[in-house]
Amino acid sequence: MIKKISPFFTRLIPVAVFLLLPIGCAVKQLPEASVESAPAYRSELADPEAKALYAYTQYRLLAVDNRWDEAINALRRAVAFDPASTYLHMSLAKALLHKDLPEESSEILREILQQAPDNFEAHELLGDLLGYQGQNEEAVEHFRQALTLDPENEMVRMRLAMALGRMGENDEAISLLEAMVAKQPEAKLAHLSLARFYLENRQPEKAKQTYQRLLDRHPDQQQAILEYGRLLEEQELFPEAFALYREGIRQNPRTVSVRQQLALLYLHQGRKAEALEQLQAVRQLAPLNTQALSRIGLLHLDLEDWAEAEADFHQLLQFGEDDGRNRYYLGLALLGQQKYQDAIKVMAPIEKTSPVFAEAVLQLAYIYRQSGQLELAIDALEKLRELNFQRPEVYYYLASFYGDGKQLEQASAVVAEGLSRYPENIELLYQSAILEEQQGRRKEALMLMEQILSLDPEHADALNFIAYHHAEKGTELDSALNQVQKALSTKRTGYIIDTLGWIYFKMGRYAESRSQLEEATSLLPEDPVILEHLGDLYRALNLWERAAEAYRKALELDSLAVGVQQKLDELPLEHTE
């Protein structure tokens, strides 16, 4: 039977003294009369309780040395020598929990409670253990038992509330916590827990009041600031959230977590400079905070402060690779400064297992293309294609590079493969349409453009393509006009403006055509087709010299432009010198 208190603790001092003597050491001889009446000497080291104490002492020393397997074995020996000791059994249960052996620990605690149902510590520990295992209903019963034994124990009351909450019994949990905060207004954890339960119970206003009461008493309570701030942000009460964070920083200028959350709110609001200011403050307070440094680097990239971003990610690389991300972002910073070779050296070592591997290869291909190494760009993307990366961009850029190299058949094959995987990818559909047009298959190109508009009716380039087709043919001009005006409402480029001007020309609305074509020419002064359109308009307006100038410029840009030389030759001779 397990008894509540081990007797060897009452004898700790004499046993400790005996432990200092050699085993079997003789004691000082007594007078003969005393010897006859004294019992025979028996070393206390042979006593089971003394052996238990010795094993327990070994356990403590081994535990301090973090040798837990040996420590638990020593504690098991102590229990074996003194099986009636509740203290030793409790110590073993705790040690087993430390080694993540909850089942054996639970068994010991239940045995203790079977022998001593009023053992407060066993109820408390078993409740914790059961709650950890998700057996909340039984945990609640043990916490209730513990609270019956010690009604004033607020930590057990808190544990009971937490277990009830895990069971979904929020109302009772809230009642317990409300009683706690009423009795102990300074109890920080009780306030925080109560606010969280109010949130789970869909009582945000009560949660806000609870956070505010806590902050009235403890203005620098960071966890309350962070949780209350997130609640205000969720309710889109951004001015109140800003005020809360700023006050938290005023109370404690060295708070890193509040500054970080304020920076994120600034970012959410698009206030990048203010976000950067807070993150720089975090960097000063916590130089090893890589998360803050990474966000600073990304902000510098976003603001195109390339040199600052380069310095940031160089420093981050000193902390580690971060699965290739730091290399990738450093490469972007170098690319922004047109340091192409440096960017290649940084990005090339990124491993295939990196989450940014595909992005890195795409950027490398772009760098190769920008530096005139088209074949290397194609090779890089072909390797990515062979690795079967599921990214439509791989097909899009690979086809573009083949197109740049006038390898239209290869480009078409790549796009076709991409569309077989991503049949509704608008970029690939548009690219396919352009390739069809380049190979003289206008009908197929128009069908693809119509397919794009079925997926995205506002797609400006598809609208412009179809409108220009009708302008060239001189058919369905009213419909074409509506389409190009719709395109211009979302995207204003020289090509779309040229289409509008050309439609007006075909409709005989020369004044409107002139304003559009002149604007298109100013935006794209080296496009021979737009110059030819402008020349045709000037010719229609009998502005012979201007028409001749436009045609000559078109021929300078494209000496083989079909029909332009003939148009120039047909102008009245006296106006073409």
User: What pLDDT is attached to residue 573?
Assistant: 65
Burial 475-487 (b: 16+ CB within 10 A, else e): eebeebbebbebb
User: What pLDDT is attached to residue 301?
Assistant: 94
Q: Are 551 and 564 in contact (CB under 8 A)?
A: yes
Q: Strand, coil or helix: what is 295?
A: helix
Does the pLDDT value for residue 36 go beyond 70?
Answer: no
Does the pLDDT value for residue 126 go beyond 90?
Answer: no
Average pLDDT score, the chain: 87
Question: What is the Cα–Cα distance from 69 to 46, expressed in whole angstroms?
Answer: 26
Q: Are 571 and 544 in contact (CB under 8 A)?
A: yes
Interval 131-149 mean pLDDT: 88
User: What pLDDT is attached to residue 130?
Assistant: 86
More confident residue, 156 or 574: 156
Residue 318: exposed, middle, or buried by beta-carbon count in 10 A (0-12, 13-18, 19+)? exposed
Interval 466-474 mean pLDDT: 94
Q: Strand, coil or helix: what is 527?
A: coil
**Which pLDDT band holds residue 574 (cuts at 50, 70, 90)?**
low
More confident residue, 482 or 175: 482
Give the length of the chain: 577
Q: Which of 130-139, 359-368, 535-544 is predicted with the least confidence, judged by mean pLDDT? A: 130-139
Question: What is the Cα–Cα distance from 195 to 188, expressed in whole angstroms?
Answer: 11
Tokens linked to 192: 């925080």
User: What pLDDT is attached to residue 452?
Assistant: 96
Question: What is the Cα–Cα distance from 254 to 256, expressed in whole angstroms?
Answer: 6
Q: Are 98 and 17 in contact (CB under 8 A)?
A: no
Tell me: the pLDDT tens digits for 271-280? 999 999 999 9
Q: Are 333 and 313 in contact (CB under 8 A)?
A: yes
Interval 393-419 mean pLDDT: 93
Domain ranges of the chain: 457-507, 525-577
Question: What is the Cα–Cα distance from 225 to 220, expressed in whole angstroms?
Answer: 8
**Which pLDDT band holds residue 575 (cuts at 50, 70, 90)?**
low
For the chain, what is the largest distance between any 2 Cα atoms, rounded to a whole number of angstroms?
157
Q: Report the alpha-carbon angle 385-325-394, nearest 5.
A: 20
**Centroid of chain to Cα 51:** 56
**Which pLDDT band holds residue 483 (cuts at 50, 70, 90)?**
very high
Q: Report the alpha-carbon angle 224-225-229, nearest 5.
A: 115
User: What pLDDT is attached to residue 15?
Assistant: 33
Does the pLDDT value for residue 26 go beyond 50?
Answer: no
Question: What is the Cα–Cα distance from 197 to 136, expressed in whole angstroms?
Answer: 17
**Which pLDDT band holds residue 45 (cuts at 50, 70, 90)?**
low
Tokens linked to 298: 């990304």
Does the pLDDT value for residue 19 go beyond 80?
Answer: no
Q: Where are the beta strands (DSSP E) in 378-518?
A: none
Question: What is the Cα–Cα distance from 51 to 41, expressed in whole angstroms?
Answer: 17
User: What pLDDT is attached to residue 435?
Assistant: 94
Q: Are 146 and 120 in contact (CB under 8 A)?
A: yes
| Residue 69 Cα distances to 81, 86, 382, 440, 485, angstroms | 19, 21, 55, 79, 79
Question: What is the Cα–Cα distance from 147 to 22, expressed in whole angstroms?
Answer: 49
Interval 91-95 mean pLDDT: 89
Question: What is the Cα–Cα distance from 490 to 494, expressed in whole angstroms?
Answer: 13
